[in-house]
Amino acid sequence: MLFAFVILLLFTIGDVDTVSNTPTGIPLIEVFYEATNSKPATTFLVIMPAIVLFFSTCNAFASVSRLIWTFAKDKGLPFSRQLSYVICPHLGKSFAGHRLRATTNQVSRCIPLYGSL
């Protein structure tokens, strides 16, 4: 599906100089605007993939947190006792898995910041 999107994008890109020097700073928005010549349509085309990305990210984070909890329950991680502890037995969810996932996500996002120093 992404391959088809790239092919369609290349056929509708229009003026490459205008797209690369766009005032928005995001060339994809300029491509959408050149293709539709409508700000509401461009906004719609930008918002819809953002909504899909938001929900898929939430699902991926929940899945990773469940994998951390399951792996810790089987004593496959360091600090398994703390990571496998279930705070709410009614829901059967481990908050420690969410914290570990969030912490590793934030630390990995800081790597490019220190690489440029």
Task: Tell me the pLDDT tens digit for each residue of 33-82.
Answer: 888 899 999 999 999 988 998 998 888 888 887 888 888 888 888 887 87
pLDDT for 115 equals 65
With contact defined as beta carbons under 8 Å apart, do 46 and 39 qualify? no
pLDDT for 38 equals 93
Q: Is 58 exposed, middle or buried (0-12, 13-18, 19+ CB in 10 A)?
A: exposed
Structure tokens at 93: 């969810």
Domain ranges of the chain: 1-37, 38-117
pLDDT for 64 equals 82
- State the alpha helices, DSSP H only, in 12-94: 16-20, 27-36, 39-73, 80-83
pTM of the full predicted structure?
0.58
